[in-house]
Amino acid sequence: MKYFYSAKKIVLLFVLACVSTWSFGQTIGTYNFNSGTCSTQTGTASVSNVTLNTASVASGLSCAIGTGAITLTSSSWPGTLSYPDNSNTYLQLSVTPAAGYEVNISQIIVKAARGNGGPRTLTVAYDKGSGYSSITSASTAATAVTLTSTAFPLDIPDVSSTSTINFRLYGYNGGVTATKTLITDYIEIDGYVAIASPTVQSSISVISKTLNSISLNFTGGNGSQRIVLAQEASPISATPVDLTSYNASSTYGASTTPIGTAFPVYIGSGNAVTVTGLNPSTTYHFSVFEFNKLAGTNTENYLLPGGSTSGKTNKGTYTWTAGSSGSWANPASWTPNRNSPAFDGSDSLIFNSGGTITVTNVTDQDVLSGLSVLNNTHVILKASAPTILYVVDFNSTEISVQTGSELEVNSTNDFFLYLDTGVELLNNGTLTLAQTNNTIIGTGDITINGTISLVHPDGLYGTSGSNAIDAGATSLTLGAASTVNYAGAAQTITTANPTPYANLTLSGSGTKTPDGNLDVHNLTLSGTSVLALAAYELSVAGNWTSYSAAAFTETGKTVTFNGTAAQTLSTTGGEIFEGLNLNNSSLTLSSPLRVNGLVTLTAGTLASGGNLTLNLATAKIDAAGSGSISGNMKVIRNFVPAKTHYIASPLAGVTAADIADEYPVVSGSQSRLLDLDCSTNKFFGIYDMSTPLAQGDALSMFFPASGTPANGVNTVTFTGTYNHAAASYSSSCPVNTSVKDFFAGNPYPSNLFLGGITGSGTSGNYYVFNNNTFNVYSSVTGIGTGVIVNGYVAPMQGFQVETDGTGGTASVTIPSSARDVAQTTSYARTAVADNIIRLQASNGTFTDETVILFTDAATNGFDLGYDAGKMRNTGTNTPNLYTLADTTKLIINSLAPLTNTVDIPLNITTTTTSNYTLSFTNKDAFDTFKSVYLIFPDGALHNLTQNPAVTVATNPATPYILRVGTENITTSASKAKTNNALKAYMNEDMLVVTMNSNIQQVEVYDLTGNRIAEGTTDAGSFTTKLSAKAGIYVVKVLSENNLYTTKIAVK
């Protein structure tokens, strides 16, 4: 055997009779020494294609040819052989194979005898052309020689070559007496001569497979023949043995000469074989070995290692041919007949006839490795008893539903499709699990590129036991074009899928509720099903399509459109969202969308097309984000009938016609829609319905109690455009000193903080008309009443801005930074400071409020910005509650800090005298003072600190007195803001202060609280130069350890 010209190995064993082996081969040739001289002795070849060359004698020997023998004489045979030191006592022979052949020497037989002093031991060394390396490695074991002529066999350890082999026969261990000779009758050389081993191995490949056969092709080798081995399951490690013949059969396992566990399936000079008798769906390994041999001999010379390949036989393929209905268990339903289902899983089933096929009696425990539905075929599987259909791995796609086809499991009995480990289910068509007890289980892999439809209550993927696919071990991948159809009744939409929903369809009936935040690409709502988000968010990266007006329940959180490409929303009957977040390139509304909550324009353009409506009773647009809304949109708000409301618009393009579309604006000759004339401070009617309602402005509208609006509800709808990027809006009015206020309005679809407005020529007081009652917010003190107690007004809310009475143009700028979307705090009253008294008068239906504030920034006179004048409420039973500073009616009355007891005049009026409840609403927070009393016109006292509510009559002949002090009050107190002894005024640039008592100290403050001047004296007057800009300033005077305050005007 040769490993690309490597050494031969001689196998000395006997095998079966059909395998031929050689012990020492055959006689290649002999040296007979019959005649001639020592230098002419040549061997005689016994086989073809080899030459035995002339023998030669080493210098340490003398040679003579006798009768049929050669005599070798040495004067001193070595006692031992110490190669090569004394290696000159040898006879050299050589063998040369013919070109293209190989000689293998296995034994040399020497017939010899010795004289009394001749060598007792013989050995042989060989050289294949690279020299005699050493006696130990190049010689055979010694053989004893006797005095009688005997044949001595000298075994050769596998000497093989395609060129000349030299042999040296050594004698040693001689005696001391004569005759010192070695006499040899003949020398026989045994082995064999064969054709040389091939040098190029064949390559082998599988060219075709069937259920029970594999066809092979092997080419490229340069041997005269080749042997092919086959082995099931594992690669072949055994190899053929040189000089050994095998028998082969193309029927696997039929050869009687296996090599290890591999069977020879081909021997010959051809290049192909079809191996039969194989098991279905089984992997087989094959190896090919090139070899040469002499005809009629067992001289096989194999080339190692072999070429190899492997292949797996096909599954048993059965095609459904029973038409539109039939039994799975009937062999005749299939072609060929499925008489014996292969429970090893090798069967492959095909449905390809097109149309709908109903398959009954699916066999329990049936095992498959292939199920294909193609050619627009719809297969419905039913079982007559609980069934498990097993699918096992075949190293390919085991279940395949092609585009346009459908595999439907629809069995009222339990039906489990079990996918074993490694099994792949690839659905490019439709996969339907039509019953809640039809489930996919196991440990396989599922890829949905088409549609999967399910009715399971616990959704697509999970471990609850009521899921369509058991997520215990089975993996699920939803492709970029896949569709998941929840087609049952009430269902949970599972959101822990390994991939998001590419296309989610909700059909059937009942409510579909996600179990977490839901991410989809395209969303389709159909049938009578309803998507209820509950507490979870919904993100849509594609299109939203709805075929039912009630398909979506808006209760829950925000719907986010976050696609990277243009998106559309198309519904039948419109949709309502709780919240909307736009974070994409664009969203086009093809049908109505109403939003009741927060709208966030993170990025992208919302193309409204007139379809977006915000219910501003609860909806707001967050000022943050870089997105925008294009085209017309609508805002709506309900209003209380038989009331007057100040209305503002958050949209551009709104006119009086928007109101007239739903409410009768003109009644007879009178208009219910009014504007405020800045120059006269009087209202005038609007009769031209094209009159604009600009953002930042406001109008007054009385909504009648009688008559039905055009839309059947008390709602005003404005249609216009919204500019999300607007930084601010403004409103202004040229006023004279007698004009006290002008109109402005919230220009945004969000709450507005009045304290964020900046003004010129204004006091900082803002009035809101609410339910026939004026509420006020002071941006200077941060004090508010009624619905604007915290300074926030709602969207579409108009208000009146109080001027500072100095004339000129008064204006306000309403920045976007003043916007607010905190829907839970806009109208809620927060904790009240302990230096504030809040009083409310109410008859249970109508309420009015007034506020008294004690602060260092106020005086006991009128303080612009700190005091807010009372605007008269309207309505027969609406009370007007206010305090008095001299004759000025105040809704917010700011006083200097309380150092002693003060009396504050308090009045309450109505159109018709009646009784109201007066309440000290923040008594528990007002803990700085010990007592607050109400003194009735008849002198009676009521302790509001102890009992914060008391019944009072409206329209008293003289005002009530609110007595506030630090001690329990039993006697009258001095009136607040009535100190006539203190006078302060400007004489050019000099401040003059006079009092009836001595002045100790004078301080001057601007309205922001900064001290700009101070001085001391001990006289009844004080004069100092005051360098100050035009404006109002507070003067504080300390006299006889009492603090007095007043104000001056610097022009």
The per-residue pLDDT for range 95-152, each reduced to its tens digit, is 999 998 989 898 899 999 988 888 988 888 888 887 775 443 344 556 888 888 888 8
Q: For residue 167, is it within any domain? A: yes
User: CA 107 → CA 70, 126, 587, distances in Å?
Assistant: 20, 12, 96
pLDDT of residue 11: 27
Q: What confidence tens digit (pLDDT) does each residue in 756-781 have? A: 999 999 999 999 877 667 889 999 88
CA–CA separation, 654 and 84 (whole Å):
123
For the ranges 710-714, 809-813, 951-955, the lowest mean pLDDT is seen at 710-714
CA–CA separation, 533 and 516 (whole Å):
9
Amino acid at 124: V
CA–CA separation, 180 and 688 (whole Å):
155
CA–CA separation, 770 and 302 (whole Å):
109
φ and ψ of 709, to 5 deg: -60, 165
Q: Give the residue with greater pLDDT, 95 vs 734.
A: 95
Q: For residue 545, is it within any domain? A: yes
Q: What contacts 338, CB < 8 A, 6 or more positions away?
A: 316, 318, 331, 347
Return the closest-CA partner of residue 1017 out of 993, 981, 1033. 993
Q: Facing residues of 65 across strands?
A: 70
Last residue of a domain, one of 252, 280, 312: 312
For the ranges 6-15, 274-283, 299-308, 476-485, the lowest mean pLDDT is seen at 6-15
Does residue 978 register a pLDDT over 70?
no
Mean pLDDT confidence for 145-168? 85
pLDDT of residue 137: 37
CA–CA separation, 439 and 420 (whole Å):
14
Q: Give the CA radius of gyration of the chain.
A: 57
Mean pLDDT confidence for 348-367? 93
Q: For residue 388, is it within any domain? A: no
Q: What confidence tens digit (pLDDT) does each residue in 26-40 have? A: 899 999 998 888 889
| Helix ranges (DSSP H) in 267-370 | none
Q: What confidence tens digit (pLDDT) does each residue in 206-262 have? A: 999 987 899 999 999 999 999 999 999 999 999 999 889 999 999 999 999 999 999
**Do 288 and 413 belong together in one domain?**
no
Q: What confidence tens digit (pLDDT) does each residue in 886-924 have? A: 788 999 998 887 777 788 999 999 988 999 999 998 877
pLDDT of residue 560: 95
**Do 260 and 230 belong together in one domain?**
yes
Q: What contacts 260, CB < 8 A, 6 or more positions away?
A: 231, 236, 237, 238
To the nearest whole number, what is the mean pLDDT of the chain? 86
pLDDT of residue 678: 80
Task: Report the range out of 69-73, 429-433, 658-662, 865-869 with the highest average pLDDT.
Answer: 429-433
pLDDT of residue 744: 94
**Do 765 and 784 belong together in one domain?**
yes
pLDDT of residue 269: 95
- Give the model's confidence band at 824: pLDDT under 50 very low, under 70 low, under 90 confident, else very high: very low
CATH code for the domain of 1011? 2.60.40.3080
Q: What percent of the chain has pLDDT over 70?
A: 90
**Do 716 and 860 belong together in one domain?**
no
**Do 1039 and 930 belong together in one domain?**
no
Q: For residue 938, is it within any domain? A: yes
**Do 1027 and 915 belong together in one domain?**
no
Return the closest-CA partner of residue 528 out of 593, 495, 492, 572. 572
**Do 679 and 605 belong together in one domain?**
no
Does residue 693 register a pLDDT over 60?
yes
Q: What confidence tens digit (pLDDT) does each residue in 809-823 have? A: 899 999 999 999 874
- Give the model's confidence band at 967: pLDDT under 50 very low, under 70 low, under 90 confident, else very high: low
Q: Which two tokens stand for residue 573?
A: 């009957």
pLDDT of residue 570: 93
Q: Facing residues of 732 across strands?
A: 811
- Sheet holding 773-778: strands in order across? 741-745, 798-803, 762-770, 773-778, 783-784
Last residue of a domain, one of 195, 219, 246: 195
Does residue 160 register a pLDDT over 90?
no
8 Å CB contact between 509 and 530? no
Q: What confidence tens digit (pLDDT) does each residue in 507-566 have? A: 999 999 999 999 999 999 988 889 998 888 999 999 999 987 677 876 668 999 999 999
Q: How far apart are the first and last CA of the chain?
A: 126
Q: For residue 707, is it within any domain? A: yes
Mean pLDDT confidence for 684-691? 93
For the ranges 136-150, 665-679, 693-707, 974-988, the lowest mean pLDDT is seen at 974-988
The model's pTM is 0.62
- Give the model's confidence band at 735: pLDDT under 50 very low, under 70 low, under 90 confident, else very high: confident
CA–CA separation, 733 and 568 (whole Å):
45
8 Å CB contact between 485 and 451? yes
Q: What contacts 953, CB < 8 A, 6 or more positions away?
A: 913, 914, 915, 916
Dump strand ranges (E) for 804-901: 808-815, 819-820, 836-842, 847-854, 868-869, 880-885, 888-895
**Do 52 and 127 belong together in one domain?**
yes
CATH code for the domain of 224? 2.60.40.10
Q: What percent of the chain has pLDDT over 90?
A: 48
Amino acid at 363: T
- Give the model's confidence band at 397: pLDDT under 50 very low, under 70 low, under 90 confident, else very high: confident
Place of tokens 């041997």: 223
Does residue 828 register a pLDDT over 90?
no
CA–CA separation, 1005 and 1008 (whole Å):
8
φ and ψ of 135, to 5 deg: -70, -30
- Give the model's confidence band at 172: pLDDT under 50 very low, under 70 low, under 90 confident, else very high: confident
- Give the model's confidence band at 859: pLDDT under 50 very low, under 70 low, under 90 confident, else very high: confident
Mean pLDDT confidence for 53-69? 89
**Do 810 and 860 belong together in one domain?**
no
User: CA 29 → CA 93, 109, 648, distances in Å?
Assistant: 11, 11, 127
Does residue 831 register a pLDDT over 50?
no
For the ranges 223-237, 265-279, 743-757, 782-796, the lowest mean pLDDT is seen at 782-796
Q: Facing residues of 442 across strands?
A: 419
User: Is the peptide bond prior to 336 cis by the omega test (within 30 degrees of 0)?
Assistant: yes
pLDDT of residue 190: 92
Q: For residue 322, is it within any domain? A: no
Dump strand ranges (E) for 678-790: 682-685, 699-703, 715-720, 728-735, 741-745, 751-753, 758-760, 762-770, 773-778, 783-784
pLDDT of residue 17: 28
Does residue 167 register a pLDDT over 80?
yes
**Do 901 and 998 belong together in one domain?**
no
| Helix ranges (DSSP H) in 298-339 | none
pLDDT of residue 587: 97
- Give the model's confidence band at 83: pLDDT under 50 very low, under 70 low, under 90 confident, else very high: low
Q: For residue 772, is it within any domain? A: yes
Let me know how long the chain is: 1051
Does residue 970 register a pLDDT over 50?
no
Q: CA angle, 691 as apex, 690 and 697 as ends, to 5°?
A: 145
pLDDT of residue 386: 94
CA–CA separation, 619 and 637 (whole Å):
10
- Give the model's confidence band at 12: pLDDT under 50 very low, under 70 low, under 90 confident, else very high: very low
Q: What confidence tens digit (pLDDT) does each residue in 327-349 have? A: 999 999 999 888 878 777 778 89
Does residue 276 register a pLDDT over 90?
yes
Last residue of a domain, one of 136, 168, 195: 195
Amino acid at 273: V
**Do 186 and 211 belong together in one domain?**
no
Q: Are strands 530-532 and 511-514 parallel, antiparallel or unpaired?
A: parallel
Q: Give the residue with greater pLDDT, 183 vs 859.
A: 183
Q: What is the dihedral of CA 144, 145, 150, 154, to 10 degrees?
A: 50
pLDDT of residue 1019: 85
User: CA 734 → CA 313, 680, 802, 864, 945, distances in Å?
Assistant: 98, 10, 13, 19, 46
Dihedral (CA of 730, 731, 736, 739) sign: negative
CA–CA separation, 734 and 756 (whole Å):
22
Q: Are strands 888-895 and 880-885 parallel, antiparallel or unpaired?
A: antiparallel
CA–CA separation, 873 and 820 (whole Å):
28
Q: For residue 339, is it within any domain? A: no
Residue 113's domain comprises: 26-195
As for how many domains the chain has, the answer is 6
CA–CA separation, 665 and 35 (whole Å):
153
- For the chain, the maximum distance between any two Cα atoms, rounded to a whole number of angstroms, is 178
**Do 814 and 910 belong together in one domain?**
no
pLDDT of residue 279: 84
CA–CA separation, 985 and 50 (whole Å):
148
CA–CA separation, 976 and 346 (whole Å):
105
- Give the model's confidence band at 1003: pLDDT under 50 very low, under 70 low, under 90 confident, else very high: confident
- Give the model's confidence band at 688: pLDDT under 50 very low, under 70 low, under 90 confident, else very high: very high
Mean pLDDT confidence for 375-403? 90
Q: What contacts 928, CB < 8 A, 6 or more positions away?
A: 834, 835, 898
